[in-house]
Amino acid sequence: MNTPQKKVFVSWPGYSTSDPETGKRLADAGYDVVLRPKFGARSAQELEAMLDGAVAAIVSTDPFSRVVIEAQQNLKVIARVGVGTDSIDLAAASQQKILVTITPGLNADTVAEHTFALMLALIRKVVDQDTLVKSGRWERVGEFTPGELAGRTVGLLGAGTIGRKVIDRLSGFGVKILFFDPIVRQAGPATRIDSLPEILRISDILSLHLPLTAETRLIIGAREMEEMKSTALLINTSRGPLIDQAALFSALRKGSLAGAALDVFEEEPPPTATVRDVPNLICSPHLAGLSRESIRRMTVSATDSVLAVLSGQIPPTAINAQAVTNL
């Protein structure tokens, strides 16, 4: 067992105790850095055992349920590498006076670039053509002939920081850009659409850039897919449960949607049988926000946040500061 008040639990893969900008700073400050990288599913019970009296945690998508949080007697801060906190019970953390921090804005460009890459890969049939060439087939016309992005209507659900970055990248490609967001009134050259059904009906490409909340969960279900064009493409680099995944895969198999690209899934990683042989589907392993550069920025920020909290400060990255009155 680690010395009380000295353990910092880290689940972010690749975090190093010898890195002078991250782990070494914690070690030099007298903390025992315990690395338990998260590469797949992890239960709340497993997480609770791993935390084992930690005063701070630098984490991935670990399941910080109410039970896990209430079992922590020493924990002062959960530093999420990224911005999604749907795996953390924020109400429980606040009640326990545990600060939750994020790394806002540090991977927005990265997500936008990946979104754009998926969009072009679908339209240009990059994955299909790669598979064909490697199997000895040279099919330049016919079923696998690619299309063009120019001239299409691209709809975005959500026009926050990442959505606006996507809009910036789209603006030079000769497309009509629309967005639906109940809060945002203007987003550069994009046209605001007042209703979800309308943007579903007119978009050739629909890209999701929403947080996962009670209101946004399953915002795209079977009924919404029926309102979309049969030639439409759907892209999700936000959170898996925004989409009814079974309904999406059914639509792709029936041909009532032309294609989809998913970086996020209902269950991560998704069971192989779930995604195997789904036509016109491109998958990536929840890495839209990850690059060598963004990981460096985010892990340094998370380390900054932990050191600040452990020295009695409330960093600007804290999202529940108002609930914590006495560190």
The answer to whether 114 is a known catalytic residue is no
Amino acid occupying residue 161: T
Separation between Cα atoms, residue 244 and residue 251, nearest integer Å: 11
Q: In 52-107, which ranges are continuous DSSP H helix?
A: 66-70, 90-95
The answer to whether 48 is a known catalytic residue is no
List of residues 6+ apart from 208 with CB closer than 8 A: 156, 157, 158, 219, 220, 234, 235, 236, 237, 238, 242, 243
Q: Among the options 239, 266, 267, 293, which is catalytic?
A: 239
Among residues 260, 277, 276, 288, the alpha carbon closest in space to that of 122 is found at: 260
b/e 115-150 (16+ beta carbons within 10 angstroms → b): bbbbbebbbebebbbeeeeeeeeeeeeeeeeeeebe
Q: Among the options 286, 292, 296, 297, which is catalytic?
A: 286
The answer to whether 239 is a known catalytic residue is yes
Q: Among the options 148, 226, 267, 268, which is catalytic?
A: 268
Sheet (strand 99-101) strand order = 32-35, 7-10, 56-59, 77-80, 99-101
* Catalytic sites, residue numbers: 239, 268, 286
